[in-house]
A and B are shown apart, each in its own frame.
Chain A
Amino acid sequence: DTAVSQTPKYLVTQMGNDKSIKCEQNLGHDTMYWYKQDSKKFLKIMFSYNNKELIINETVPNRFSPKSPDKAHLNLHINSLELGDSAVYFCASSQRGGGTGTQETQYFGPGTRLLVL
């Protein structure tokens, strides 16, 4: 069984389009995250949610909007896509919540490779 899953795995789209990436975890974790890995392979956190509540919101454009319908899902919606948004986006989850989720091991999904043309 896949612990943290993401869809789609690959996403190719035109500039200006709006797209969503979905993430689901079946580990029963309280905290979920979105990370961006750029072309230089550097990973940086974008958002963190605990029990559907936003905990961490890094300095990302407000074109990026996370949505957590329940604690097992954290989706990422991106408006007006730009060339610089091309990257691999990883979802992750960890056991503990309330901001203390970072104390625990984080489990990552397989990534969504986004290419904006």
Chain B
Amino acid sequence: KQEVTQIPAALSVPEGENLVLNCSFTDSAIYNLQWFRQDPGKGLTSLLLIQSSQREQTSGRLNASLDKSSGRSTLYIAASQPGDSATYLCAAVFGNEKLTFGTGTRLTIIP
């Protein structure tokens, strides 16, 4: 069964610190992986998309990596800010099928 897991479910970090969010998946035959953020009561905002042929993608203070052999992806946030507080979701496409979501990590940046 193809599954995506995110641990921990919640994380609190002081403002200004760098942090890493984790995502693991059970099938190395991954097609791509996407990171989203979801603010309370809002929809999902796409942050980064990594194709299976790529090892990382960067956008501003965000860097996402993909390691298919270990079944892991990480989202690195540099110099965290209170505005980064949100739930972060990773989602993987296995083969050429549908997007399978993790359960998310709720991030709180403490001012």
Residue from B34, B51, B96, B104 in contact with A41 in the complex, judged by beta carbons closer than 8 Å: B104
Q: How large is the interface on A (under 10, 10 to 19, 20 to 34, 35 or more residues)?
A: 20 to 34
Q: Given A41-B104, A43-B101, A44-B101, does the pair A106, B34 have CB atoms closer than 8 Å?
A: yes
Interface centre among A41, A42, A43, A109 (most CB of B within 10 A): A43
Q: How large is the interface on B (under 10, 10 to 19, 20 to 34, 35 or more residues)?
A: 20 to 34
Which of B16-24, B38-46, B61-69 lines the interface with chain A?
A: B38-46
Q: Is the CB of A102 within 8 A of B96?
A: yes
- Would you call A20 an interface residue if the criterion is a C-beta within 8 Å of the partner chain's C-beta atoms? no
Q: Is the CB of A111 within 8 A of B103?
A: no
Residue from B31, B44, B87, B89 in contact with A103 in the complex, judged by beta carbons closer than 8 Å: B31
Q: What 0/1 pattern do residues 47 to 61 of A give for CB contact below 8 A with B?
A: 010000000101000
- Would you call A105 an interface residue if the criterion is a C-beta within 8 Å of the partner chain's C-beta atoms? yes
Q: Which residue in chain B gives the minimum CB-CB distance to A98?
A: B96
Q: Given A103-B31, A103-B32, does the pair A45, B98 have CB atoms closer than 8 Å?
A: yes
